[in-house]
Chain A
Amino acid sequence: MPYTVRLQKFEGPLELLLFLIRKNEVDIFDIPIAEITAQYLRYLDLMRYLDIDVAGEFILMAARLMHIKAQMLLPRPEALEEEVEDPRTELVLRLLEYQKYKQVAVGLAELEERQRDHYHRLQVACDGDGYAEEEWDAHEVSLYDLVAAFSVVLERTSQVTYHEIREAEASVDEQIAYILDYLHRHGEALFADLIAGLESKLVIIATFLALLELMRRGAVVVRQSAPFAEIWIYGA
C-alpha cells in the first residue's frame, strides 16, 4: 500500500546537524557524536531511498563526522589530556556561526513579508515600449552591465560588412568632450541615444572608453532599472 513520507528538506549538512541536535535536545557544546552520526547517516540513506539528490557536501560531512567519531575513540595520554583539543571543536564553531546567520535570515524573511504589504509608485510610462510594466528600481550599473549594453550595440553595427582602413576618426578625449557636451545639453542621456548617431565601430568604441573614463573619474553616474535594461547616464 502506498504511503506518504514527509521529509524535511535541509539546505545543507549544517542545517541537518542543527536539526538533529535540537531534536535530540543535546548540548551543542557536548554533542554525542556517535549517536548524531548514526542519525545523520540514516537520514542520508532515507534521502537516497527517496531519490532526493544528496549533495556532495552531505557526504563530505558524513566523512567528517566519522573522522571525529574515530578521534574521540582514540585513547588519550592522561598527562596530555588537558592540552588536547576536543576533535568536535571546529565543527561546533561552524555550527554556532551558521546558526547565527540562519537566525538573521529568519529576521530578513520577516522584513520581506512586512515590506510586501507596502506598495510604491511604479515608473511612469515613458514611450510605450514596455517598461511601464517593470518596477523601476534604478541601480548602479556595473562594468558587466555596460559591456553587455556595448556588445548589443556592436552587434548592431557589425551588420555593415565592408572594410576600409583609415585613420581613427575620434579619440577618447574627443568623445569625453562629446559626452559631457551631450549631458550639458540634455541633462541626462540614454546610452543608446548617445551612440545612436555614431556610425563607425571605432567611434563607438572610443565613446564607450570615454564613458568608462568618465565613470572612473566620477564625472558621470550611470544607472539602469534592471539587468539588461536601458542604461541612463547623468552628470555627477
Chain B
Amino acid sequence: MEFETAKEIIEALIFASDAPVTLSRIRAALEEADEELLQRVVEQLNEEYAQHGHAFEIRRVAGGFQMFTRPHLAQWVRKYHRGRARQRLSRAALEALAIIAFKQPISRAEVAAVRGVNSDGVFKNLLERNLITMAGRASTVGRPVLYKTTEHFLAYFGINSLADLPSLEEVEALLKARAPQEEGEPTVVEATMESPAPAGSNGDGEAQ
C-alpha cells in the first residue's frame, strides 16, 4: 500500500476515535501498520497541520495517538466547555498519586506511611476518577488490597508511559541543588479572629 493511502487511513482512525489509538488497534484495520510507519505518518500529519494552521495536532499519550486542540486555543474551548471542567486534583491527591506511581502496586497503609497521614479519602477520589485501580492483594499479613495507576492516569497527565516521569534520582538531585526557600507555597486557610492568638501568635509570619 502506498504511504499516502496508509496515512489517510491512519488519520481517519485517529480522527474518529475518542481515546488514544494504539498500534494494535490500528492493526485491526490496517494489518501492515507497524511502529515505524505510524511514527512517520504522525510526524508528517503534524507537519501538515502546522503548515496549514490547523487547530489541532496529534500527540502521543498513554501508549497511543490522539488528536488534541492546540494549547493556545484552550481559553476558547474552555469557555465552550464551561461547567464541565474537571476539578484539579488536590495536593493530597497529587502526593498520593506520586507515591503510587513510583511504588506500585502499593497498599493504602504504605502510602499513608510515606505521607505521614491517613489517605483514605484521597484513595476514594482517585478511584472514582479512574486514576488508580485495584491490583490484587499483597501476600503479607491481612492481605491488604494493592493499587496501581491506570492508563487514564497517563492520558490525564498527557504522558505516554511511566518512564516519562522524572526518576526519583533526578528528583533527589534537584532537591539537593535547590535553595530551600524556593519550594511551592502550601495553601492558606484564613480565619477571622476576635482576639489575639495565644502562645506566640506567629501565624501571620508563617503565612508569608
Contact = CB atoms under 8 A, between A and B. Distances in A.
B19 A112 contact: no
A118 B71 contact: yes
Main secondary structure on chain B at its contact with chain A? mixed
Interface stretch (B1-9, B40-48, B93-101): B93-101
Given A106-B184, A118-B68, A137 B152 contact: yes
A133 B199 CA distance: 53
Range of interface residues on chain A? 35 or more
A8 B189 contact: yes
Given A2-B194, A5-B203, A46-B199, A227 B94 contact: no
B25 to A, nearest CB: 11
Contact of B193 (A4, A97, A226): A4
A226 to B, nearest CB: 7
Interface string A97-119: 11111111111110111111111
A89 interface: no
B165 interface: yes
Contact of A120 (B66, B184, B191, B197): B66
Interface in B3-40: 15, 17-19
Interface in B67-89: 67-69, 71, 74, 77, 81, 84-85, 88-89
Interface of A: 2-15, 19, 22-23, 25, 42-43, 45-46, 49-52, 55-57, 61, 94, 97-109, 111-124, 133, 136-140, 142, 144, 226-227
Given A2-B193, A142-B133, A226-B130, 12 more contacts: A6-B207, A14-B117, A52-B189, A56-B118, A101-B98, A101-B114, A105-B94, A106-B184, A109-B91, A112-B94, A120-B68, A227-B130
Interface of B: 15, 17-19, 59, 66-69, 71, 74, 77, 81, 84-85, 88-89, 91-92, 94-95, 97-99, 101-102, 114-118, 127-128, 130, 133-134, 150-152, 155-159, 165-166, 168, 171-172, 174-175, 180-181, 183-194, 197-204, 206-207
Nearest 9 Cβ contacts at the A-B interface = A12-B117, A6-B207, A115-B158, A104-B98, A14-B116, A117-B74, A117-B71, A118-B68, A105-B94
25 contacts: A4-B192, A5-B193, A6-B190, A7-B189, A7-B203, A12-B115, A13-B117, A14-B115, A25-B180, A50-B193, A51-B191, A52-B189, A55-B117, A61-B116, A98-B114, A101-B99, A101-B114, A111-B157, A113-B88, A115-B158, A117-B74, A118-B158, A121-B15, A122-B18, A139-B151
